[in-house]
Amino acid sequence: MRWLLVKDLQILRRSPLLAALLIVYPITLALMIGFALSSPPGKPKVAFFTQVPKGRGRIHFGSQDINISSYAKDLYSSIQPVVVHSRAQAISAVRSGRALAALIIPADIPAQIQSLVTTGVGSPTVQLILNTKDPVERQFADQAIQARLNDVEQAVSKQVLRVAVIDLQQVLNGGSIQFLGQSFPLLGLRDSRTLLRRAIRALPAKSPLRPELNRVVGFADLAIQGLAFASPVLGSIGTPLTVDQTELSGRTTPAATYAVTISVIFSLMLVTLLLAAGMLALEREEHTLARLVRGLVTPGALLAEKVVLAGGCAAAASLLMAAGVSIFVPLEWSRFPLWVISLVLAGLAFGALGVAIGGVAREVRAASLLAFMISLPVAFVALVPAAAVSGGLKTALDAVAFVFPFKPALDALNNAFSGTAPGIGWPLVHLVVLAAVFGALARVAVRRLA
Amino acid sequence: MAATAATRQATLAARSLSKRFGDRAALSEVSFEVYPGELVAIIGPNGAGKTTLLSILAGIQAPTSGEVTSPPGRKVGWVPQQPAIYSKLSVAENLRLFARLERLSDPEQAVERMLDQTELRERSRDEVGDLSGGNQQRINVAIGLLCEPVALLLDEPTSSLDPRQRERLWGFIGGLAGQGTTVAYSTHNVAEAERYADRVLVLADGKLLFAGTPAELERAVGGGARDFESAFVHFLDERGA
């Protein structure tokens, strides 16, 4: 086996482009995936044009003012605003591609909101212009703006409700009202009822006003009860749902660490599969397979050599990659021995899958294509979140993920990097079993095809 | 080139070899012997069972029934049809690798011997992929000879070579036979069999129809055939193969 290993390393050394592609391409790809997963989404460029004159963005409601313009700042935090000075410029910016979308605020929006709040009639409308050339970018810009507009809507509603509740409280309990810079006292229903009761008691017993005033007191009682109930109800509409968040016991993996784990395993998978499948297929392409297994080496030794070569190279490259990434993302170096064990066993399991692929393919190109065709869906299946699919489909996806090394490799390395649940024991055993099963399949293929 | 068969011990003997692939019989009750220094050509139409017979003799496939015997402790060399060598390794590296895999006591000495025998010493550092088809085939044969086999089996050794390369290769193979190595090869080229074989084995539909010298084959079909190739075709036609 030693001489075969030396021979394969010589061949790799003499194919620098192939070696570079096998190592550099998956690592670059994996790093890109890792950073894409761990980076926040970018902000879409949006041309923003408001026709509301400065200082005219206020609406009056009850005793308070609401400044609509202040919510534009929230919107700016979600987009990269492109400065435009007219509606035509905004549309032109979208057409030319300088902006993904244009948001136009009409001049009458404060009046429309004012009318809606005070009379219930009005349709405040903003105009959103989207570039439909790229459906993905269109959806991205649409979602970012809609989400922020929803926030603005909620904030305005909340403010209106808050003002309504304050005014209701004043109607109920009394207070003061500001008008033309002067403060006027407001009596309130409760005090009105107290004054009426005093007035009734002061009237003669047979006074004809007593029944009528008692009816007014009765109405005041009902109104006080009703408004006392309505105030907290109105207040709660502003925040109808409260999320009570509970953290279950056990540590959770930080998102960035998980992204690194995915990218390292993805890289390991591609390097190992391509190397193992390619190097075994090369034996067939060079017509040396039959010569070797004729008595020079056993099929088991030949396969073991390919698995060790591919798994060892890939595990070493992945360790370097993890060490490099740990500069940016915290990984638990105290668990380094578990990193090594996880990567080596994952390398062996992927290597065994690789030689099974290489045993079926007749040439290196076919083996590489087959390795890509198998590995990408396997990774995708293992990464589908449990909550994203229905029960039956989830069971099927779990079954597929179970028979390939990606999921146990991910679980093992995730634990090795961050010490989070589930434990590392079962994934490592799983990897060993998969290595044995795929190794046996490869052996059958080599015996049959040699 | 061959001595009288009866006076010597066979270096390779096939006894009642049969091979079935499902319902199809690739070989049926094939028996023959080959002797030291003998050049034996296995000829026959496509699908006759030539490659199957050679791969059973080489130990790559097991027969369904029958047996192959060779002198104890001696190896049989095998040279596949396509050069089974690593194109990214040099001539010497290929020879050294297979010498080590053969577990020879002195791999370097075996490499030197083969470089001399193949007359490729000057190209020993060149990558095999840069060599001509003829030179690649010589290395292919040399690897089969590394273990100093009692018999060398070649599967259509000249099928991909031009006439000049063929001539050189046959010179090389003839030299081996001259040194006492038994050589058995399959070929489509009937003229080559006539020219470079002491005996021919004619296979058709997995059956051994004839074993004898080329002259004996010509005599077997009477005087009607003008040359050996015509005699061979006539022979097959007579037997409905």
Per-residue pLDDT tens for B127-184? Answer: 999 998 888 988 998 898 888 888 999 998 888 778 887 888 888 888 888 888 899 9
Cross-chain Cβ contact B80/A3 below 8 Å: no
The CATH number of A45-159 is: 3.40.1710.10
Cross-chain Cβ contact A15/B88 below 8 Å: yes
| Closest CA–CA distance from residue B84 to any residue of chain A (Å) | 4
Tell me which chain B residues have a C-beta less than 8 angstroms from the C-beta of A294: 58-60, 78
CATH 3.40.50.300 in chain B is located at 1-74+150-241
Q: Does A317 have pLDDT greater than 60?
A: yes
Average pLDDT value over all residues in chain B? 85
The CATH number of B1-74+150-241 is: 3.40.50.300
Q: Does B225 have pLDDT greater than 70?
A: no
Count of CB atoms within 10 A of residue B223's CB? Answer: 8
Question: Searching chain A, which residue's CA lies closest to the CA of residue B75?
Answer: A295
ipTM of the complex: 0.81
Greater confidence (A95 vs A72) lies with A95
Mean pLDDT of A412-424: 83
- Which amino acid is located at A120 in the chain? G
pLDDT, tens digit (0-9, with 9 covering 90-100), for B24-66:
888 999 999 999 889 999 998 888 889 899 989 988 888 999 9
Write down the pLDDT at residue B3: 45
Of A11, A296, A297, nearest to B86 by CB-CB distance is: A11
Element (DSSP H or E) covering residue A221? helix A209-238
CA–CA gap between residue B85 and residue B126 (Å, rounded): 13
- Which amino acid is located at A441 in the chain? L
Write down the pLDDT at residue B2: 46
Which residue, among B54, B88, B139, would best test binding to A if mutated, counting the most A CBs under 10 Å from its CB? B88
Cross-chain Cβ contact A10/B89 below 8 Å: yes
Tell me which chain A residues have a C-beta less than 8 angstroms from the C-beta of B127: 14
Write down the pLDDT at residue A98: 84
CA–CA gap between residue A161 and residue A164 (Å, rounded): 5
A38-47, A219-228, A303-312, A396-405 — which is least confidently predicted? A38-47
Tell me which chain B residues have a C-beta less than 8 angstroms from the C-beta of A3: 97, 100-101
Q: Where are the domains of chain A?
A: 45-159, 187-237, 253-449
Q: What is the 3-state secondary structure (H, E, C) of A159-182?
A: HHHHHHHHHHHHHHHCEEEEECCE
| Closest CA–CA distance from residue A347 to any residue of chain B (Å) | 26
A102-116, A309-323, B134-148, B182-196 — which is least confidently predicted? A102-116
Strands B12-21 vs A182-186: parallel, antiparallel or unpaired? unpaired
Tell me which chain A residues have a C-beta less than 8 angstroms from the C-beta of B87: 286
Tell me which chain A residues have a C-beta less than 8 angstroms from the C-beta of B89: 7, 10-11, 14
Cross-chain Cβ contact B84/A7 below 8 Å: no
Backbone angles phi, psi at A207, to 5 degrees: -60, 130
The answer, as to whether pTM is greater than 0.80, is no
Whether the CB-CB separation of A264 and A322 falls below 8 Å is answered with: yes
| Residues linked to residue B43 through DSSP beta bridges, in sequence order | B187, B202
Greater confidence (A64 vs A377) lies with A377
Whether the CB-CB separation of A332 and A419 falls below 8 Å is answered with: yes
Confidence class for position A438, pLDDT limits 50, 70, 90? very high
Tell me which chain A residues have a C-beta less than 8 angstroms from the C-beta of B58: 294
